[in-house]
Structure 1
Amino acid sequence: MSATSANLSPQELRPLLHQKLDAFSDSAIAAVNDLLVEFERRWLFAQMSEEAEADRQAGKYDPALVEQAVRAHRTRHPYA
Structure 2
Amino acid sequence: MTDITLFHTSTCPYCVQAERLLGRKGITAINKVNIEQSATLRDEMIARSGRRTVPQIFINGEHIGGFDDLVRLDQGGALDPLLGL
Same fold (TM over 0.5): no
> Which one has a larger percent helix, Structure 1 or Structure 2?
1
- Bigger Cα Rg: 1
Q: TM-score, normalised by structure 1?
A: 0.23
**Larger RCO (alpha carbons 8 Å, 6+ apart):** 2
